[in-house]
Structure 1
Amino acid sequence: MHTRLSKCALEVDDSRAFWAHADETTDVNAQRAFDEYWFGARSLARVEVLLTNMRARFSAFPSALSVLHSWQHMSPETRRAICHWHLQLTDPLYRCFTGTYLVARRSGPRPEVTRDLVVAWVGQQGPSRWMMSMRIQFASKLLSAAYSAALVTSNRDPRPIGMPHVPDEALEYLMYLLRETEFEGSLLDNPYTSSVGLEGAILEERLRGLPGLVFRRQGDLIDFGWRYHDLRMWADVNLRSEERRLAGAAL
């Protein structure tokens, strides 16, 4: 358990700025990002906080960062989903909150949540040394991040729990990322897809329609057929195809 989330929520726009400037070979330091206005007119102290979180969320996955750096034409829905999944991958509290707690609330008789409920939940998850002020701060950041990810649809209590739209390109990105990442669960049962409402038959139906892989089920036998060797190759083919499509539309 760490406390990075207490200072930085989902930060979709700042993540986009980080992807634009950083790749696996970039010397990322706060002074350079501050001088070059990577995150706009932010203080050096705030830039340091942002970079600490961006490194944990994206630099820890070099293949993913390389892909995100070169992905110029990304839909807002895809960007939101990718930021959400990378925060889940690197923050166990957010992963449990969005992949377990909100999923259970969504399927319950009242698919909504309040700040008081989340404060109480944080108290059950975190160390006993966390004071109430820390629990409230975490609850606020969790709800802010979930709202930015469209997992809750209001920033006022009671907050209905939603299911964001996940484009095919975003789901393919996640599958290829998880394929080369050690994580708890399986490709069909994990907090990343569950958090956005993709579970069971719904998830399997979406997987069957993805052009970047071949999914088959026969009884208890499941076969994942990957059309590309890894995430980088998937991106190389798909991003070039998208660029050609956009160039043709501009003519």
Structure 2
Amino acid sequence: MNAAPVETPAPSGTPPGSASLDPTPSGARPAEATAVHTRILRCMLAVDDSYAYWQHAGEDVPVDARWGPAVAGRSTDRGAARAAPSAAGRARVAFERRWFGAKSEARVRTLMTDMVERFDAYPEALALLRRLGAVPSNLRPFLCHVHTQLADPIYRRFTGELLPTRREQGLTTIDRDTVVRWVDALQAGRWGASTCVKFASNLLATALDVGLVSGRRDPRKLPPIPVPDVLLGYVLYLLRDVRIDGSLTDNPYLRSLGVTRSTFRAFASRIPGVRFAELGGVIDLAWLEPSLTAFGLRYLGESA
């Protein structure tokens, strides 16, 4: 088996003979989001809602619900509408079928917007989560965390830069005022004081749901992160086919989970689905599974 250098993600596409569910078309590798937005002010980690979405995302949407308003310059024939369900149509079906329980239609629309950005943007991952069905409850917050990082550059920097930096500096706590100042400094003057406070509160609450911080009052502690080894394997296989700023061994996704370039070798031997080697300071990973799908079907799920 050929070893793949980890400094640059491997090429997109599912190797011959591997299992595939709605694979990303060749040459169309998904990428992490880079445009700053405020969606975390309205939707945080949403573990239960995300899990519900994985269960329902593959359901057929009635043809009439797929027809959104005509868009200037785009085809509105039945074939085009059938191939591309409207966001409003999918949200309406999710509300009517109670995908998210008794939540209001407005709340469902908000959730659907985030679910699409966090999961639909990475089709092989979503297809895998759909197929797995029952995902162990201890993995769900971490899966939601990684996909929230992919979809939200502010959350990605908060969890992959600010929190790890404090740990590296020997600091064991963080408070909301520190996060407020950090948010304001990201793009000075863009948001008012109340918005920065809301950002800080929601970022900390989201990190709490993952286990990256503990406590709901200042100062919040930065505890050891109990990340399952299999989750690190999921991250590596996922990022292998996603365009990110960083390498597979040094990126905000792994750093948020306590794995840095200098500590990667200490974790590597425990990560399922990969074989670690280092020669002359160059780190290589041998991929033991042909795709994220194959990895997930083997190592994730209640029966894995």
Using the size of structure 2 for normalisation, the TM-score is 0.75
* Residue aligned with 2:139, SS: helix
Relative distance call for 1:24 and 1:105 in structure 2 (3 A) is farther
Relative distance call for 1:41 and 1:111 in structure 2 (3 A) is same
d(CA) in 1 for partners of 2:59, 2:230: 22
Kindly indicate whether the alpha-carbon contact (under 8 Å) linking 2:118 and 2:147 is maintained by their aligned counterparts in 1.
yes
Quote the residue 1:116 is aligned against.
Answer: 177
Instruction: Give, in angstroms, the shift of residue 201 of structure 1.
Output: 4.9
Relative distance call for 1:51 and 1:209 in structure 2 (3 A) is same
Quote the residue 1:129 is aligned against.
Answer: 190
Quote the residue 1:249 is aligned against.
Answer: none
Quote the residue 2:125 is aligned against.
Answer: 64
Query: Whose helix fraction is larger, Structure 1's or Structure 2's?
Result: 1
Q: Number of aligned residue pairs: give it.
A: 243
Kindly indicate whether the alpha-carbon contact (under 8 Å) linking 1:152 and 1:160 is maintained by their aligned counterparts in 2.
yes
Instruction: Give, in angstroms, the shift of residue 32 of structure 1.
Output: 0.8
Instruction: Give, in angstroms, the shift of residue 158 of structure 1.
Output: 0.4
d(CA) in 1 for partners of 2:44, 2:181: 19
Alignment RMSD: 2.0
d(CA) in 2 for partners of 1:216, 1:45: 50
Mapped pair 1:14 → 2:49: yes
Quote the residue 1:38 is aligned against.
Answer: 99
Quote the residue 2:156 is aligned against.
Answer: 95
Residue of 203, 207, 221 corresponding to 2:268: 207
Quote the residue 2:238 is aligned against.
Answer: 177
Kindly indicate whether the alpha-carbon contact (under 8 Å) linking 1:22 and 1:69 is maintained by their aligned counterparts in 2.
yes
Kindly indicate whether the alpha-carbon contact (under 8 Å) linking 1:24 and 1:65 is maintained by their aligned counterparts in 2.
no
Instruction: Give, in angstroms, the shift of residue 210 of structure 1.
Output: 2.6
Kindly indicate whether the alpha-carbon contact (under 8 Å) linking 1:31 and 1:44 is maintained by their aligned counterparts in 2.
yes
Q: Which moved more, 1:18-27 or 1:82-91?
A: 18-27
* Residue aligned with 2:92, SS: helix
Q: Residues 211-230 of structure 1: matches in 2 within 5 Å?
A: 211-230=272-291
State the AA in 2 paired with 1:11.
A
Deviation per residue, 1:107-141 (Å, 9 max, x gap): 22432111111111110013523111111111111
Unaligned runs of 5+ residues in structure 1 are 246-251
d(CA) in 2 for partners of 1:44, 1:174: 33
State the AA in 1 paired with 2:116.
R
Instruction: Give, in angstroms, the shift of residue 189 of structure 1.
Output: 0.6
State the AA in 2 paired with 1:88.
Q
Q: Which moved more, 1:71-80 or 1:1-10?
A: 71-80
Kindly indicate whether the alpha-carbon contact (under 8 Å) linking 1:103 and 1:195 is maintained by their aligned counterparts in 2.
yes
| % identity of equivalent residues | 41
* Residue aligned with 1:76, SS: coil
Using the size of structure 1 for normalisation, the TM-score is 0.90
* Bigger RCO (CA 8 Å, 6+ sep): 2
